[in-house]
Amino acid sequence: MSRAVVLVRHPEGSVEEGDFGVVEVPQSALPAGHFRTRNRVISLDAGFRQWMTAGAGDNYLTGMQIGDPVQSIVLGEVTESDHPDYPVGTLVSARTAWEESSVLDGADLCSPLNVAPDIPLYHYAGMLGPTGMTAWIGLFKIGQPERGETVVISAAGGAVGTVVGQLAKAAGCRVIGLTSTRDKADWLEREVGYDQVIDRNTQPDLAAALLAACPGGIDIFFDNVGGQTLDIVMGQLREQARLVLCGAISQYESAVEPLTNSWELITKRARMEGFMFSDYFEQFPQIAEDLLGRLQRGEIKSFDAVYEGIERTPCAFCDMMHGASRGKCLVTLD
């Protein structure tokens, strides 16, 4: 038997721990060409909230069904194998589910992991895994920062946000964050290295606060939030600005808000581009090597909120979705 976290009801609005349940799953015989993993780290990824809503599903992923294990990026160790590329003992990163054991065939963002000495395994679900890839790809491939530019990052205190902020700072940019609370804003300025962070609790007038923080306008907006925040930023761009559409978390649990400032993209000759990190799968090894080098040189740090035990996964996911955690939110199963 192993345990899995399943969706017991589709979240309506704000996701709650009660939307999930922990169930025992009997182990079936291993099909030909597959391998079994003992999972060790579960990555909590905000994007999966999109596919939990009733009737969700799009060109990228199908919607989750009641009773299904919740999808996720997971790190595991192969314990049984009928797959030549994944012998017993191999460490693996894959898109599978919130479960203690998985049966995989090597598809769906699956790859063996080479863990560097002195690096905790869970970093490969965060800074050196999909989170770091997303931050790196969005900033360097789409945003293309130049020294001296002003970069604004929404959901600055989350997994992707804390990595983008550090990379943009290392690229010589002035880095402004948007977050939920003043406490988190102070932490981002003090520990993560943001030049200035605007919090929506004490500074509810985002347009005025942004204008004060970026009087010359915004060169790059790395957006994890969408909706009204995106609309306000669209009204404060410099010429040739780049808007990196990474996520739209403000819209995952509430009605979609209209964008009214699109004319600004024309007069400012701005570029707005969305991306999915998975499209760059072939480049992951090179990007991970760059991030590992920066981590080992002390140029960037990994900020993690680590929960223990599969039964903590629903709590960890809700904390992450609602800003109660800082940095990368993970569950370890060791």
Ligand X SMILES: NC(=O)c1ccc[n+]([C@@H]2O[C@H](COP(=O)([O-])OP(=O)(O)OC[C@H]3O[C@@H](n4cnc5c(N)ncnc54)[C@H](OP(=O)(O)O)[C@@H]3O)[C@@H](O)[C@H]2O)c1
- What residue has token string 């290392």? 170
Which stretch, 121-129, 152-160, 203-211, 234-242, contacts ligand X (CB under 6 A)? 152-160
- What residue has token string 């060790």? 40
Q: Is 160 in the site for ligand X (CB under 6 A)?
A: yes
Q: What is the DSSP letter of 236?
A: T
Query: Measuring CA to CA, how many Å separate 148 from each of 43, 139, 140, 151, 174?
Result: 34, 15, 15, 9, 6
**Site for ligand X (CB under 6 A): which residue of 42, 52, 104, 156?**
156
**Site for ligand X (CB under 6 A): which residue of 69, 161, 165, 314?**
161
Q: Is 275 in the site for ligand X (CB under 6 A)?
A: yes
**Site for ligand X (CB under 6 A): which residue of 69, 76, 247, 314?**
247
Cβ nearer to ligand X, comparing 149 with 319? 319
Task: Provide the mask over 15-34, with x wherever binding to ligand X is found by CB under 6 A and - wherever it is not.
Answer: --------------------
Rounded CA gap, 168 and 171, in Å? 5
**Site for ligand X (CB under 6 A): which residue of 142, 198, 246, 331?**
246
Rounded CA gap, 210 and 330, in Å? 31
Tokens linked to 303: 């900020």
Q: Are 147 and 173 in contact (CB under 8 A)?
A: yes
Residue type, 254: S
Q: Is 295 in the site for ligand X (CB under 6 A)?
A: no
Q: Is 3 in the site for ligand X (CB under 6 A)?
A: no
Look at residue 77 and give its three-state secondary structure. strand
Which stretch, 8-16, 78-86, 233-241, 248-256, contacts ligand X (CB under 6 A)? 248-256
Interacting positions 224-243 with ligand X (CB under 6 A): 224-225
Look at residue 124 and give its three-state secondary structure. helix
Rounded CA gap, 72 and 148, in Å? 37
Q: Is 179 in the site for ligand X (CB under 6 A)?
A: yes
Binding site for ligand X (CB under 6 A): 45-47, 131, 134, 155-161, 179-180, 184, 224-225, 246-250, 275-277, 320, 323, 329
